[in-house]
Structure 1
Amino acid sequence: MDIVHMFELAIAMVLAIIVLHYLAHRVGLPPPVALIAGGAALAFVPGVPTVTIDPELVLVLFLPPLLMDSAWTIALGQLRRHKIGIASLAIGAVLFTTIVVAIVTHLLFPSWPWAACAALGAIVAPPDAVSARAVLERVKLPRRLRILLEGESLLNDATGLVLFRFAVAAGLAGGGFSAVDASGRFLLLAVGGALVGIVVGTVWVKLVRRLGDEYLMIAATSLLSWIAYLLAESAHVSGVIATVTTGLIASWHAHTVLPASTRMRGSSFWEVMVFLIEAAIFMLIGLSLRGVIERAGGFGAVIETMGVPSLVLLAVLILARFVWMFGSDLLIGACARLGVTSHTPLGARATSVLGWAGIRGVVTLALALSVPEGFPGRDFILVMAFVVILGTVLLQATTLERVIRWAKLAEAPVDKARVTMSQAEAAMARVQLVTVERCAYDGDGNLIHPKLLDRYRRKASMIGDYAERPEHYSPIFHAHFDVILEAIATAREELIRLHRSGEIDDETLYELERDLDLEELSAISAKA
């Protein structure tokens, strides 16, 4: 397939993404389900070439920006607070699932070496960051569960990648698989990746503000994830950990090193890019199904020789996550009763939701496709990877929202020392008023900005009153900003009329439209 046809296929895929996302929202399906199904259907259309995915390219192209996006938006304070729970999921659950799947695989295929069984376990063990994000955007979870799932998806890929590479190396060398050696290797790669991430993040903080131009800042920040990942991989340490560490550092300092306009424009650009990347991943999963089935001998051969073992391992995979979740929660409860820890258990309903959220995706696919030719059980590993992805997406992603509603999870009480949003706004308004009062008078003590001073006094008074009685003022504020939004809409209509009638030129249109857009966004944010 030449480069022009590849470009045409890419355009067709983007158009399909738009249509499938629209249909998914219309019928209430999770977008990953519609995208995988659409990609699979497109793959079998006559004339469409077989899509062959380079697994290394998939990991390098798609994984770093998605990890960076998750690290950029995650609540760092909550991440530190729940570090033990996140480590239990990102490391403990992946290790446990790998071991369980490896044991069951060896029972199903006694002729397989243990290294091949461990490789399959490492491929299917880590839940996918992309799949989790795509589902969590549609549901409301208590803060603790959301941070556990987001933290798990940030770090579990590193565990799975290390275990997989160690198992493949052992399998090709004809040796056995050692969990102890893999754990030591993981620690080394994780520490090395964190060091690379610290260096890259620190350099970005020092240099980005010196660029001056906001477009250069956005471009430099957009490349940050790939720079961290590629540097770490070239140093033979964890690119995943390096990217996450860089993202956490950049996110922490972005509020001080990036101007407001850069943050706004950069966020819009980044959100669209991440949307297309996530959607493209699920489309590629569906498109690559045809090649996998052809290599395995067709649908008939797959169902006859691999159907039952694949379903057994899928059930074992889901069950292993539940066993780890409930076992960990019971252990936390026992330690809390003995006074060993201050952590409280999640409870059966929350643990069930956490167990059901183990959806697999791009990492599982990329690792399966990267299994070398001649590796024991390679055909079954490829088929099993698709069974796991399709099974967890179709079964768990489509029902997770109902499971959450069934669980009736309540948000944990907020720490009493926590400052509410309205209280923070009141504190900001008081500081603003002090600044305006200082600058409102000239050197001789004459008031030179009376209207500005009056405006900020009224603002501080209103916000202070709202912070004390939000339930009383909330309807008034909503009505207030509804009027503002309606006034903006009429002003926009008049602006368009003036332009269409030739009374103002294009430059005036764009300048005044930008002002209205900023005013509208401010009103929408304040109303929310």
Structure 2
Amino acid sequence: MLENLPFYLGLVMAIVLLIMLANKIKVAYPVLLVLAGLVISFIPGIPVMRIDPELIFFIFLPPLLYEAAWSISWKELWRWRRIISSFAFVVVFLTAMTVAFVSNYFIPGFSLALGFLLGGIVSPPDAVSAGAILKFVKVPKRMSSILEGESLLNDASSLLIFRFAVIAVATGQFIWYEAALSFGWMLTGGVGIGLLVAFIFMKIHKYLPTDANMDIVLTFLAPYIMYLAAEQVHSSGVLAVVSGGLLLSNKRYVFLRSGSRLRGYNVWESLCFVLNGVVFLLIGLDLPEITAGLGGVSLSSAIGYGILITAVLIVGRILSAYGAVVVTLIARNFITVADSRNPGYKVPFVLGWTGMRGVVSLAAALSIPVQLSDGAAFPQRNLILFITFIVILLTLLIQGLTLPYLIKKLITPGMSAEPAEEEVDSLIRKQLAEHALQHLRINHQEQLSKHPVLQQMAQKWETNSSTTEHALMAEECKIVYLDILNQQRQWLLLKNKSEITLDEDIIRRHLQYLDLEEEKLRFV
């Protein structure tokens, strides 16, 4: 391990440089990292990177899922719950089933159980890849919200399929009523344990004398404890992390201080930056070892199988996107839907084209046991790994490189009925200033009359200026200003909750600004 330390440090440096290059040339960084890993793997003398299959889920998935749960808006998740649920559960299952039948028919030696195993691995699209691409183009908020919500939940549904398929391959049988009971426990147990652990951590943060450093360490422990606790009782660790992360994210302004929120955001962003980079680089680095283990399957045949499965995934997702639109248009006649407008043919096609595969598929493929319980080699393991690699590579290259072009051509600014972000931001800034000024004059009139600093703040809010810096504050002024910041924070949270169509990202930016203002008080 130590003799390879310079190589590992070099990989981290390479990740940083490649992502800088990707941002410069406006290409999604997962594409460059996969290609770079592939190139590096052919350099003579490069150490072989091996990760214990049993640990791959535990190392990468809990923190990445936890960070995704913290980033997503619960309000947006609930607003688009029908289409998100259809993509995250129905489409994932139909995709896995289609892959199972296609692979069983076209790939020699592939049973239906192995087909469902492969389907569970390659069915979930990757949020990191889509997010890296959408950073360079503007899309309607509803589309980005659907993609974020889908990516959070489809990991759980696909990994449930994966787990049952592994059991079916290992035992050679599938008893439906036992599977149904097991599925029910994995679902309810995973969600319940995640919420319970999250509740305990919430109380620890709120009632124990923690500081920002302790709070950040606790946020690191939370996803791993959720995952381990659920897995120990044979329920879904993935669902535990997702449900627990969503609860803590939704209550962050109740139990975390402003300093903990600000520092934690930066630390978590850096951690997931490195983890995602390492995983995408691993995809390329693992190819030679996977290829060497293909056994009796020729390389050309294995590539052909990979292309076939990739085509099935791309076509299947596009058809599913149009199917979701048809169902929504029919359902609007009977129930209230979030958006009843006909999106035409362009938006579903773009949504269907966002099916790049990545981190979760690789983690699932690498976690396939090397041997069965009786010591025999796990059937077709390396072929499944190779097909997974081809699927990831092709979807990243074909869809990842063409998606920005398609968005610019097919998605025009006029297609979104949402108000301009700048207008909403300006309106909230004005309303927030009016709310602060009103609270100051009603509740702190005496302090306002005798402290010039508070008078300057009142003048700033009257003119809605954001350029006034803090003067030296007396302790009484700090108390007043903290009260005003808390009032503004509560007003923002209430506004976000009451206005279902308001973009929560705008609210979060203003909440972060209030946290920064609160932190400034430590230095004035």
Q: TM-score, normalised by structure 2?
A: 0.81
1:375 maps to: 378
Map Cα deviations across residues 205-239 of structure 1 (whole Å, 9 max, x no partner): 11113233221111112222212112111121111
1:397 maps to: 400
2-structure distance, mates of 1:409, 1:303: 43
1:425 maps to: 429
1:193 maps to: 190
1:510 maps to: none
2-structure distance, mates of 1:19, 1:185: 45
3-state SS of paired residue (2:417): coil
2:5 maps to: 7
Code of the residue aligned with 1:366 in structure 2: it is A
Aligned: 1:357 with 2:357: no
- Residue 270 to residue 307, structure 1, CA distance change in 2 (3 Å): closer
Asked if the contact 1:325–1:354 (Cα under 8 Å) also holds between the matched residues in 2, the reply is yes
Identity %: 35
Code of the residue aligned with 1:91 in structure 2: it is F
- Residue 39 to residue 422, structure 1, CA distance change in 2 (3 Å): same
Q: 1:387 aligns with which of 385, 390, 394?
A: 390
Shift of 1:303: 2.9
Shift of 1:184: 5.7
2-structure distance, mates of 1:38, 1:134: 17
Asked if the contact 2:34–2:284 (Cα under 8 Å) also holds between the matched residues in 1, the reply is yes
1-structure distance, mates of 2:181, 2:417: 39
3-state SS of paired residue (1:53): coil
Shift of 1:181: 6.6
Asked if the contact 2:276–2:359 (Cα under 8 Å) also holds between the matched residues in 1, the reply is no
RMSD of aligned C-alpha atoms?
2.7
3-state SS of paired residue (1:326): helix
Code of the residue aligned with 2:394 in structure 1: it is G
Map Cα deviations across residues 321-370 of structure 1 (whole Å, 9 max, x no partner): 1122212211222333x444535254321111111111111221222223
1:458 maps to: 459
- Residue 181 to residue 143, structure 1, CA distance change in 2 (3 Å): farther
1:472 maps to: none
Map Cα deviations across residues 140-196 of structure 1 (whole Å, 9 max, x no partner): 221111111111110111111111111121122122586x87566444312211111
Map Cα deviations across residues 56-111 of structure 1 (whole Å, 9 max, x no partner): 32211111111111111211111111111111011011101011111111111364
3-state SS of paired residue (2:46): coil
1-structure distance, mates of 2:160, 2:449: 67
Asked if the contact 2:117–2:165 (Cα under 8 Å) also holds between the matched residues in 1, the reply is yes
Asked if the contact 2:28–2:129 (Cα under 8 Å) also holds between the matched residues in 1, the reply is no
Map Cα deviations across residues 113-143 of structure 1 (whole Å, 9 max, x no partner): 2111111111111112333333333332211
Counterparts of 1:459-478 in structure 2 under 5 Å?
A: 459-463=460-464
Code of the residue aligned with 1:253 in structure 2: it is K
Asked if the contact 1:21–1:31 (Cα under 8 Å) also holds between the matched residues in 2, the reply is yes
2-structure distance, mates of 1:137, 1:228: 31
2:328 maps to: 332
Q: Considering only CA atoms, is the larger Rg found in Structure 1 or Structure 2? A: 1
3-state SS of paired residue (1:441): helix
2-structure distance, mates of 1:424, 1:52: 51
3-state SS of paired residue (2:110): coil
Q: TM-score, normalised by structure 1?
A: 0.81
Asked if the contact 2:291–2:299 (Cα under 8 Å) also holds between the matched residues in 1, the reply is no
Map Cα deviations across residues 430-468 of structure 1 (whole Å, 9 max, x no partner): 3433444343527xxx9422x2343233223223xxxxx
2:61 maps to: 63
2-structure distance, mates of 1:221, 1:376: 39
Code of the residue aligned with 2:327 in structure 1: it is L
Aligned: 1:212 with 2:207: no
2:496 maps to: none
Aligned: 1:303 with 2:307: no
2-structure distance, mates of 1:43, 1:403: 32
Map Cα deviations across residues 223-259 of structure 1 (whole Å, 9 max, x no partner): 2221211211112111111111111111122123222
Asked if the contact 1:67–1:243 (Cα under 8 Å) also holds between the matched residues in 2, the reply is yes
Q: How many residues align?
A: 460
Q: Where in structure 2 are there 5+ consecutive unaligned residues?
A: 372-376, 470-512, 518-524
Asked if the contact 1:440–1:448 (Cα under 8 Å) also holds between the matched residues in 2, the reply is no
Q: Where in structure 1 are there 5+ consecutive unaligned residues?
A: 464-476, 485-517, 523-528
1-structure distance, mates of 2:260, 2:217: 11
Aligned: 1:315 with 2:311: yes
Counterparts of 1:402-413 in structure 2 under 5 Å?
A: 402-410=405-413, 412-413=416-417
- Residue 37 to residue 220, structure 1, CA distance change in 2 (3 Å): same
2-structure distance, mates of 1:391, 1:177: 36
Counterparts of 1:206-285 in structure 2 under 5 Å?
A: 206-209=203-206, 210-285=208-283
1-structure distance, mates of 2:418, 2:301: 54
